[in-house]
Amino acid sequence: MIKDELILLFTSLYCGIIFAIVYDAIRIIRNLIKPHFIRVVIEDFIYWICVAYIFFSMLIKKNYGNLRWYPIFGMLLAMAVYEIIVGRKLVLKISKVLEKIIRTLLKPLKKAWKRIKLRKTKIEEKFAKGNKVSRCRKKENHRKACNADSKTDNR
């Protein structure tokens, strides 16, 4: 009987650590993406719904439907201890490493994008100059035609 209770407690502690690791993965992704506040709230809500479902399913299976408070406190304690000792530091370090990797991978793409934008602006400038010249020529031709018409009308 006590053996079963200890197994349940250690399973709860283990679940707490796993849940904290999963939440850290979510936080790392948030550090990289920087989502809107509403998205964070929705993600947290979905996360906690999933955690509650998984944890209570485990409690029902392991404890034969008897819900006790100590496994819940064990899970929350494990999550808190993990977060205090490892979580924050780990999230920051992994986030920084991933940011460096992403920057390194995106650097050539950014350079290529700048070249494309530069070429695009040069092409646009050429077309804009061509359009100005053609407009000016049209205006000059129109003026000449008008002047020629007015000269012929006066004679």
Q: What is the mean pLDDT of the chain?
A: 80
What average pLDDT does the segment 103-132 reach? 74
Q: How far is CA 97 from the centre of its chain?
A: 16
What average pLDDT does the segment 10-34 reach? 89
What integer pLDDT is reported at residue 132 of this predicted model? 55
Is residue 96 over pLDDT 80?
A: yes
Q: Is 66 left (phi over 0), alpha (psi -120 to 50) or beta?
A: beta
Query: If you search the block for the tokens 């947290």, which residue do you land on?
Result: 44
CA distance 20 to 12: 12
Q: What tokens were used for 53?
A: 């479902």
Q: pTM value? A: 0.64
Is residue 6 over pLDDT 80?
A: yes
What integer pLDDT is reported at residue 113 of this predicted model? 77
